[in-house]
Structure 1
Amino acid sequence: MRLFKKAKKRDGWLTVALARDGMTLASVKRQDGARPQLRLAQLLPGSIGVEALEKAARECKAPLRHCTALLAGGEYQILNVEAPNVPREEMKTAVRWRLKDILDFPVLEATIDVLDIPLDANSRAQQSLFVVAAKNGVIQPRQKLFLDAKVDLHAIDIPEMAQRNISAMLEPEGRGVAMLSFGDDGGLLTVSYRGELYLSRRFDVTLAQLLEPDHERKHQSFDKITLELQRSLDHFERQYSFISIAKLVLGPSPVSGLDEYLSSNLYTPVETLDLATLFDLSRTPELADLAQQQRFFLAIGAALREGEGA
């Protein structure tokens, strides 16, 4: 299975994200001339299995939509590698063998896909790619779960692409956007430009640490984030000098004070996203709460796949 395969036309996407405490589901409907409508944002708590997925599929009208399974941060690796000088049809094979000494598991046990990183026409930089690699031991059980539940799985997605989908909605003409979100598996920094993903970076700071009631420990996490952001954005500007980052957007969350702290320590403008500014939430009024937005943020982003190519 391709991780990012092209879709046939259906009534949008349904994201299914598996978590320790159940399944998170989200569905978005794009609307001409209007904000996309969030049709569904639902948490189904409990054990994950065939019966639970069958029930979720019935309740969420899965047969009417493309279904994508969203991987968690620890279930794959995303790597930036130099593009091999081979024909396009040979790219995956060439990349696979280049990964032999990079992956922390045997390359023959990997499912891989590649994503182009477009360069400016005048750039002299070496063409590079994002390579996404997941163990077959992660991908195959996920496929089997959907197969046994009789749910047609059209794609398997990753958080970077889900976050890119939302970041792309915020891009000013001709400029890029950096976006930083936090969850149980840490922070995720991405940069998008012209709807393409250019940077992916994981931060070892979890949402729980940012909600730490102890003021000193919380601000230690703020300091760590600030330093990592400064390093990452400085390196990005050197590598992609043709991209001007307009702003840093923090994903929705109940964390207080981080946007002000970063604004006072970074030269890049900082703002916190409220999904109500991008989406019609009339069918999901519970998402007026930023804590709920954070819970469904990446699942919603993955549900924006409609209209994408491979």
Structure 2
Amino acid sequence: MSIARFSPFELLLLKSRSQVDTAKLLLLAWVLCHRQQVSEGQRRRRLAQVSVHFRHGHELAPVMQIAQQQDLQAIQLAAEVLRRECSREHGLGVMHQAIAVATDTGELSLANHYILRFLADLFDVPPATLATLFQELTGRALTAPEDPSRDAYWRIHDAEHYAKYEAEQARQAEAARQQARQEQQRAEQARQRQQEADQAREQAEREKARQREQQHERERSRRHRQSHQEKKHNHEQPYRATPPDRTTRALAVLGLMPGASKLEVRKAYRRMAQMHHPDRFYTESEHRIALASARFQRIKSAYDYLMHTYQ
């Protein structure tokens, strides 16, 4: 049979003087590879110390290399050899050695928590017995292993990552707050611009209304002067004056000259009605309101008469 078909660990078992000791070597090397803050040289020296009485008859380097490669098939084969060949007492001895190499220079790593429980199951060691062995050898209780699926575990064991993560979260939160403030400022500026535009529009409308009122006032003054001149002329030449008819008087009330068209009458009425409607003087005195009502009534009567006349 060609040896190329055997794995490195199977070849070690074939060459070993004691397959049990070789299997124990691999499992103890597996535990040592999961020790934290331990150099490669320290692992090799510790494995040599623990295996000084083993009868394997081969070098330790190949065993350490297989353990470092996390060769699970080799580890499973070693476990099967020990399950088949070791008695309960022998299994307890292996547990003693595994606990010793896992804890003699520091805290028990998370991986070795689970490896010790795997070995306890392998040798049918109950959890209570495992806890007792651990207490006797280390002087401290075997606590439940930390759960790497929990956030709290990685906050302790990868604090640098979480510091960066929390800093990034804080930066993003600050950026979001800054963006919200900027959007609020833009909205406030837009509201102020809208208010200013509304105020400017209202001011322009008031200015236009004031100019219209001034124009209307000038027109009334012109008519008044014209009427006064006509009266003066009629007074100076009474023999030539003829009393105006009702149509002429109605047109004069609307500020129109004789011969005005029906369209001009309507426009004049709307303009005069807007200027002299009593509702515009509701804040004035009762006397002013009464005068406005009388004036508006004359305008309305003149308009009704002229509309009837133009039919």
Higher RCO, 1 vs 2 (CA within 8 Å, ≥6 residues apart): 1
Larger strand share, 1 or 2: 1
TM range (shorter): under 0.3
Larger helix share, 1 or 2: 2
- TM-score w.r.t. structure 2 length? 0.22
- TM-score w.r.t. structure 1 length? 0.22
